[in-house]
C-alpha cells in the first residue's frame, strides 16, 4: 500500500485519488460492520453511496479544470451533496427498525469521519505546490512525518514505556512513547527543511505539531470507538495492522487541520 501511495504521489494524482477512494469505501463498510448490532442498523448502502459522492465531488472540483478558486473548492463540494444527508431521515420512516435515531446518526457519521478527511488529502496533492524529486512536498512530508511519529512512538513506548498516556481509553500508549515519537518526528521535520528549502522550517514544525496533537487525538478517538464496542481491531483486511480504521486513524482527525493550514498558508500567501 505504501508503494502504491508513493507511486500515486509521484506518477499520477488519479492513482492517489483512486487509492484513497477505495480506502474510504472500505473504511465506511468496516465502520458499519463494527457498529452494527440488534439496536444499531445503519443504512449501509446509502452511507457508502453518500461517502462516494462526497469524495468524488471534492476531488472533481479540484482535478477537473473548472475556473474555481480555493474558496469554491472548500464550499462547492459540500453544498452539492447536502440534500443527500436528509434522505436517511426519510428512509428510516419506512425501515421499521429499532432505535431509528441511532440508525440515522451512525449512517451519516462515517461519511464525515472517513470519506471527508481522505478526500481532503487530494486537495494537498496540488500540481502548483512545491515538488521535490517529483513528489508533492507538503503532502509527502505529511505522510512521512505521520509514519515517523507513529513508528517512533511504538518503538519508544515498547522499549521504555511506563507512564500511561490515557489509560482509560488506550492502556498501551505511554508518555515515553509519545515523547520519543515526537522527538523523531521533529528531527525528520528538520531534515525535510534541509532537503526542501522552499518550505520554511516554521511550516515543517507547524505540520509536525498538528500531526503530534491531532494525530494523537485521532488514535485515541479510534481507541475510544473500539473500547466502546469491546473489540481489539476494527478489522483484519491489513495483515499485521488490523483494519482500515486501525491504520488510518491518526490521518482521519489530523487531515482536516493540515488541509486548513495548507490553503491558508500556501494558497493566499
* Residue 216: pLDDT over 60: yes
* Residue 91: pLDDT over 90: yes
pTM score over 0.85: yes
Interval 44-59 mean pLDDT: 92
Q: What is the mean pLDDT of the chain?
A: 87
Distance between CA atoms of residues 57 and 78, nearest Å:
8
Q: What is the pLDDT of residues 77-87, one digit of tens each?
A: 556 667 888 99
DSSP per-residue codes, 151-180: HHHHHHHHHH--SEEETTTEEEEEHHHHHH
Given a contact cutoff of 8 angstroms between Cβ atoms, the answer to whether 89 and 152 are in contact is no
* Residue 269: pLDDT over 60: no
Distance between CA atoms of residues 261 and 70, nearest Å:
13
Given a contact cutoff of 8 angstroms between Cβ atoms, the answer to whether 103 and 40 are in contact is yes
Burial class (CB in 10 A: 0-12, 13-18, 19+), 237: middle
List 248's β-bridge partners, or say none: none
Distance between CA atoms of residues 181 and 165, nearest Å:
13
pLDDT on residue 74: 55
Amino acid at each position: 500500500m505504501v508503494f502504491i501511495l508513493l507511486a500515486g504521489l509521484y506518477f499520477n494524482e488519479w492513482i492517489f485519488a483512486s487509492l484513497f477512494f477505495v480506502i474510504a469505501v472500505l473504511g465506511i463498510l468496516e465502520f458499519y460492520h463494527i457498529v452494527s448490532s440488534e439496536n444499531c442498523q445503519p443504512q449501509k448502502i446509502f452511507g457508502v453511496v453518500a461517502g462516494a459522492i462526497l469524495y468524488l465531488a471534492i476531488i472533481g472540483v479540484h482535478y477537473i479544470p473548472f475556473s474555481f478558486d480555493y474558496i469554491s473548492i472548500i464550499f462547492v463540494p459540500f453544498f452539492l451533496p447536502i440534500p443527500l444527508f436528509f434522505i436517511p431521515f426519510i428512509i428510516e420512516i419506512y425501515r421499521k427498525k429499532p432505535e431509528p435515531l441511532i440508525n440515522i446518526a451512525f449512517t451519516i457519521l462515517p461519511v464525515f469521519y472517513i470519506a471527508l478527511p481522505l478526500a481532503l488529502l487530494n486537495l494537498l496533492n496540488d500540481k502548483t505546490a512545491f515538488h521535490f524529486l517529483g513528489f508533492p512536498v507538503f503532502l509527502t512530508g505529511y505522510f512521512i512525518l505521520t509514519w515517523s511519529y507513529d513508528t517512533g512512538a511504538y518503538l519508544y513506548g515498547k522499549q521504555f514505556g511506563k507512564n500511561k498516556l490515557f489509560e482509560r481509553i488506550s492502556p498501551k500508549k505511554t508518555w515515553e512513547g509519545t515523547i520519543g515519537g515526537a522527538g523523531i518526528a521533529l528531527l525528520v521535520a528538520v531534515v525535510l527543511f534541509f532537503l526542501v528549502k522552499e518550505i520554511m522550517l516554521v511550516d515543517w514544525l507547524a505540520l509536525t505539531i498538528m500531526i503530534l496533537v491531532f494525530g494523537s487525538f485521532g488514535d485515541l478517538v479510534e481507541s475510544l470507538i473500539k473500547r466502546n464496542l469491546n473489540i481489539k481491531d476494527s478489522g483484519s483486511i491489513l495483515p499485521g495492522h488490523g483494519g482500515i480504521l486501525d491504520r488510518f486513524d491518526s490521518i482521519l482527525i489530523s487531515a482536516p487541520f493540515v488541509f486548513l493550514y495548507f490553503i491558508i498558508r500556501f494558497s493566499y500567501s
